[in-house]
Homo-oligomer: A and B are copies of this chain.
């Protein structure tokens, strides 16, 4: 994939954004003559975040951008040479220098899909050395994006469809593109926009405005702060059409609560957490908005029927996800050289599922989601209307299910380094996320103590797990 096709390639994550151990392992594989062994990794999470029963898949567009631009430059390779043993064969560095993503194939859940534990968000296959190097950046690009999208989806479920939800978290993010990621994927997850201008410029997120205290405190005495969005109050330009030109927020520019006053200001406003109407004439037509430390509980209160609040800005608890600040995705080897691989541990939660796999979502006749099935890639897909024997994860017995519909979950996006089809736009993925959520049953969609959504294995996959486990304990 040529970087020049993408104007944002310069902003893509750099290939050295990785853990040193990926490079050390790459050297190990290279020395063992295994650099080109065909390998497949799966990226997934083991537990849904925030105590819920679902997550939203997100971050694929950043992964594609990263792969597109993936290439170690001379300076990168020289740096690696400086941190690897001095007797490292120069041919290894030549190998690194020549790497690009042309051997990489990626299947993935479309962004905005519901994602459940153990179901791959990404399947990445290609030469062992190369796909090993991709582990850390892909985890970095998918985990937080999916966490934030899920956080936003939960807040949207609480607020209901009518309230305008705005991301204000940039200043509370882990540096610049922590903020960019949060603004992008909170929109995907169901927010209406962000204050982050760069997210508007680079990602097309609707950007929305407000005011800081300093704007009001910068005026003193009897000066009346002008409406910064309307020129009609000021002599230097003619009255305009009303300053309602912010995309994604119409006339709801969301100026809120400049609840302070400059010294000597006779119009001192009380600093309540609850929303107040303002005493500046140009603020009277603005919808009521609040933005002070809104978390899920406070949002639930504001969303109650009869509340006058119609615009809600969320900063810290949007971007930091304080209830669970990390999704904890993992990236695990499932096959090498066409042979399945499995991590065996005494902790059943940490055991991986071996082999190259396909994943399907089974639906009932009313379109509601029943469960997800993982099976070996070579198995025929489940058929609508046909009975299927499956092994729900964690269960000791199999059961039968007869889906009314069957949807394949993992789409082929990148084949041998080539993008196979255009990624949906951010707005399309956002709409898809809301559609996906609407098909989840209320029991699964519930945010507190939801019903567990089932993920099951096919009989063949279950048998493979058993066989490998038995072999290991011989």
B-contacting residues, A254-287, CB 8 Å? 255, 259-266, 268, 270-271
B-contacting residues, A123-174, CB 8 Å? 128, 132, 135-137, 139-141, 143-145, 168, 170-174
Q: Is A213 an interface residue (CB 8 A)?
A: yes
Q: How far is the CA of A253 from the CA of B27 in the complex (A)?
A: 14
* Distance from A376 Cβ to chain B, minimum over Cβ atoms (Å): 15
Given known contacts A137-B176, A170-B136, A176-B13, A228 and B195 CB-to-CB distance under 8 angstroms = no
Q: Is A381 an interface residue (CB 8 A)?
A: no
Q: How far is the CA of A40 from the CA of B176 in the complex (A)?
A: 24
Q: How far is the CA of A37 from the CA of B179 in the complex (A)?
A: 30
Interface range for A: 35 or more
Contact A20 B271 (CB under 8 A): no
Q: How far is the CA of A75 from the CA of B178 in the complex (A)?
A: 23
- Give the contacting residue for A85; candidates B31, B174, B229; CB below 8 A: B229
Q: Is A333 an interface residue (CB 8 A)?
A: yes
Stretch at the interface among A100-108, A230-238, A416-424, A442-450: A230-238
Q: How far is the CA of A136 from the CA of B212 in the complex (A)?
A: 11
Residues of B within 8 A of A24 (CB): 209-211, 228-229, 253, 255
Stretch at the interface among A114-122, A337-345, A366-374: A337-345
Given known contacts A87-B237, A200-B79, A345-B260, A28 and B215 CB-to-CB distance under 8 angstroms = yes
How many monomers of this chain does the complex have?
2
Contact B79 A197 (CB under 8 A): yes
Q: Is A240 an interface residue (CB 8 A)?
A: yes
Stretch at the interface among A295-303, A320-328, A393-401, A430-438: A320-328
A335-353 CB contact bits vs B (8 Å, 1 = yes)? 0100111111111001000
Contact B28 A214 (CB under 8 A): no
* Distance from A344 Cβ to chain B, minimum over Cβ atoms (Å): 6
Residue of B nearest to A90 (CB): B237
Contact B140 A20 (CB under 8 A): no
Q: Is A222 an interface residue (CB 8 A)?
A: no
A5-17 CB contact bits vs B (8 Å, 1 = yes)? 0000010011011
Residues of B within 8 A of A144 (CB): 173-175, 178
Residues of B within 8 A of A407 (CB): none
Residue of B nearest to A259 (CB): B345
Contact B218 A34 (CB under 8 A): yes
**Which of A88, A209, A350 has the most B CB atoms < 10 Å from its CB?**
A209
* Distance from A455 Cβ to chain B, minimum over Cβ atoms (Å): 22
Residues of B within 8 A of A52 (CB): none
Q: How far is the CA of A41 from the CA of B168 in the complex (A)?
A: 20
Contact B13 A10 (CB under 8 A): no
Contact A140 B173 (CB under 8 A): yes
Residues of B within 8 A of A37 (CB): 218
- Give the contacting residue for A176; candidates B23, B25, B88, B177; CB below 8 A: B177
Residues of B within 8 A of A410 (CB): none
* Distance from A188 Cβ to chain B, minimum over Cβ atoms (Å): 14
Q: How far is the CA of A132 from the CA of B270 in the complex (A)?
A: 24
Residues of B within 8 A of A85 (CB): 229-231, 240-245
Q: How far is the CA of A6 from the CA of B90 in the complex (A)?
A: 30
- Give the contacting residue for A19; candidates B168, B217, B322; CB below 8 A: B168
Contact B333 A211 (CB under 8 A): no
Q: Is A48 an interface residue (CB 8 A)?
A: no
Residues of B within 8 A of A265 (CB): 472
Interface residues in chain A, defined as those with a beta carbon under 8 Å from any beta carbon in chain B: 10, 13-14, 16-25, 27-29, 31-32, 34, 37, 39, 41, 62, 75-76, 79-80, 82-89, 128, 132, 135-137, 139-141, 143-145, 168, 170-182, 195-198, 200-201, 207-215, 217-220, 225-231, 234, 236-247, 253, 255, 259-266, 268, 270-271, 316, 319-322, 325-326, 328-329, 331-333, 336, 339-347, 350, 354, 468, 471-474
Given contacts A21-B211, A28-B225, A85-B231, 14 further A-B contacts (CB under 8 A): A18-B197, A27-B228, A28-B215, A85-B243, A87-B238, A88-B231, A89-B237, A143-B171, A217-B333, A261-B344, A264-B471, A271-B346, A271-B347, A321-B325
